[in-house]
Structure 1
Amino acid sequence: VTSSWSLRTLAPPTIPLVQPHPNTSQYPPLSDWDPPSFTRAAQFRVGATLVLFLFAACSNLALLASVWCGRGRRLASHLRPLMLSLASADLMMTFVVMPLDAVWNVTVQWYGGDVLCKLLCFLKLFAMHASAFILVVISLDRQHAILHPLDALCAHRRNRRMLLLAWGLSLLLASPQLFIFQAVRVEAVDFTQCATHGSFSRRWQETLYNMFHFTSLYVIPLLVMSCCYSRILLHIHQQHLRDKAGESYLRRSGTDIIPKARIKTLKMTVVIVLSFVVCWTPYYLLGIWYWFQPEMLHVTPEYVHHALFVFGNLNTCCDPIIYGFYTPSFRADLAACCHRTSCDASPRSLDQLSTRQGPPSGESDPGTNNQGGD
């Protein structure tokens, strides 16, 4: 994530690597290695990344359009910025991380110069931090909505502040990339790579830097999200126990204690968080293994490294799928868009189609404005 290219081979690997200064006795001089090549495993990675890029770009742009100007506008005012930010972070991952990774694997070495090297590595880490932190904000919002349902009127202002903090922290934590990355040229073999060569004089500095970003990207978000949903589940369990004990006599019109729309939104966010954990955990575990045992690169097959990185990027495609599964309005927007593209229907017929393909009877969007703001 942080130092994306290995100086042992100066080739684009799958895990965040930083190597010590070349003058140390731990590694041979850069002139002693052979330039890497575009291997078959790397070709698989590029092909899979291209497929994910096309799907993630289309689906996340559709999600952004639906929430911004489609039927997704019916979301509660404090939920819309959350979904817009999540789609924006996924689009940053799609248009920065995926193309950068694919092109870099094809060219093997770096042709973009020093400034572009620093900028793209900064944007890559910024996008990954933003994606993780926005999931944290969504989890905190769901916790407050379930535990303190009467504070819904303050939710919009609270979420706006948390989103500003999430984007600001992402910008701050990614800024070191602008200083530690540089275009390194090896004259002996006429090879240039964007790497952190010479930025760390000791191995422990590399490990500390990588572990810091591993903690901020994965450990802290996972702990916060786990705490939020644990408290939510405990609260729901206690509510059911009170209900069974005959303590809840003031339920509205015989409905559940927690509105169904709020529960549906909760289920959607839980699945989104789980997809983040499932997709990225193997990749981060591989990174930890490398940081403490660098020789693992010679033990594990190359295709394993590439496959785990591709699997992590799959998370970018999961969010719009999950949102569409729980949100009939998004599916209706997609159906209307497909019909408009294929049939070039008139505005009147499109309005009729939109009416026919709205949410079915008894099926409502999670978090619509007519569901108490949640």
Structure 2
Amino acid sequence: MHPLNSSLGNFSMMMEVEDTPRDEKLAKVEIALLSVIFVSASILNTGLLLVLWNRRKQVSRMRVFVFHLCIADLVVAFFQVCPQLMWEITDRFIGPDLVCRLVKYLQVVGMFASTYMIVVMTIDRYQAICNPMVKFQRRHARWNIPVCVAWTISLVCGLPQIFIFSRVQVAPGVFDCWADFIQPWGLKTYITWTTLVIFVLPILTVVVCQVQICRAIQVNLYLKTL
């Protein structure tokens, strides 16, 4: 599952006048959709995790990737979809500054982890199909290197969230979890950087690998027909 980053979704809200009443009908639709996404993602990913855990003795490279992909999706569900759902219900972020920064950090970590776990899975399949003579190490620690890389990228690239977002006063006596960007280029830089590293680069990497995989399969089939 890949719901949109709620921090990006809040940018339009930041531009509105603070005392403008929200559209209650739209809010109810958003609450219903977020509830369905949260429940579905939680149940399905937890179920798959239990299945993989029960079959942990039959470990394989792809099962390790899928296991961590499920964990990444659960991070998205519990730290991105769930807080956004609560936010829609209360209309304001309820919690101290530390919770605000932590939630915003984990929201992006989940997005990064879910995205880059797919990237490392694709690169692994590319190596297996396009470079079949490469001898993969069979030790469990070796299998976890791509997974560790994906998690490291996620944890490091999410750090700016801690410094950008904080609990601020948006109206007299009213506090919310908002971003504070350097003017006038901060917001544009943030959106450009997020789009590049979460969407553009991963998509390009996956597309290039998939094209090479398709070519390798096509060549292999052609050689077999000779």
State TM-score, norm by structure 1. 0.55
Pairwise CA distance, 1:143:
0.7
The structure with the largest alpha-carbon Rg is 1
Say which SS state the counterpart of residue 168 (structure 2) adopts: strand
Letter in 2 for 1:200: I
Say which SS state the counterpart of residue 177 (structure 2) adopts: strand
| 1:200 corresponds to 2:182 | yes
Pairwise CA distance, 1:36:
3.5
CA shift in 2, pair 1:56/1:201, >3 Å:
same
Task: Name structure 2 gaps, 5 residues minimum.
Answer: none
Relative contact order: is structure 1 or structure 2 higher (C-alpha 8 Å, sep ≥ 6)? Answer: 1
CA shift in 2, pair 1:163/1:205, >3 Å:
same
Match of 2:211 among 220, 224, 230: 230
Match of 1:241 among 210, 219, 222: 222
Aligned pairs, how many?
221
Pairwise CA distance, 1:182:
1.1
Please list, as runs of the form range in 1=range in 2, the aligned pairs for 1:292-303 lying within 5 A after superposition.
Answer: none
Match of 2:147 among 146, 154, 163: 163
Partner of 2:65: 82
CA RMSD of aligned residues (A): 2.2
Pairwise CA distance, 1:228:
0.8
Match of 1:111 among 91, 94, 100: 94
Partner of 2:51: 66
Letter in 2 for 1:83: V
Pairwise CA distance, 1:5:
5.9
Pairwise CA distance, 1:44:
0.8
Runs of 4+ more than 6 Å apart: none
Pairwise CA distance, 1:80:
2.4
Partner of 1:325: none
Please list, as runs of the form range in 1=range in 2, the aligned pairs for 1:232-311 lying within 5 A after superposition.
Answer: 232-245=213-226
Contact 1:186–1:192 (CA<8 Å) still a contact in 2?
yes
Please list, as runs of the form range in 1=range in 2, the aligned pairs for 1:1-374 lying within 5 A after superposition.
Answer: 1=5, 3-4=7-8, 6=10, 9-10=13-14, 33-37=18-22, 39-70=24-55, 73-76=57-60, 78-151=61-134, 153-154=136-137, 158-188=142-172, 190-197=173-180, 199-202=181-184, 204-245=185-226
Pairwise CA distance, 1:152:
5.1
CA shift in 2, pair 1:157/1:148, >3 Å:
farther
CA distance in 1, matches of 2:191, 2:6: 6
CA distance in 2, matches of 1:3, 1:99: 13
Pairwise CA distance, 1:148:
2.5
CA distance in 2, matches of 1:98, 1:79: 27
Contact 1:38–1:105 (CA<8 Å) still a contact in 2?
no
Pairwise CA distance, 1:244:
1.7
Task: Name structure 1 gaps, 5 residues minimum.
Answer: 11-18, 20-29, 246-374
Say which SS state the counterpart of residue 49 (structure 1) adopts: helix
State TM-score, norm by structure 2. 0.88
Pairwise CA distance, 1:8:
6.3
CA distance in 2, matches of 1:56, 1:124: 15
Contact 2:6–2:80 (CA<8 Å) still a contact in 1?
no
CA distance in 1, matches of 2:33, 2:7: 22
CA distance in 2, matches of 1:201, 1:168: 30
CA shift in 2, pair 1:144/1:7, >3 Å:
closer
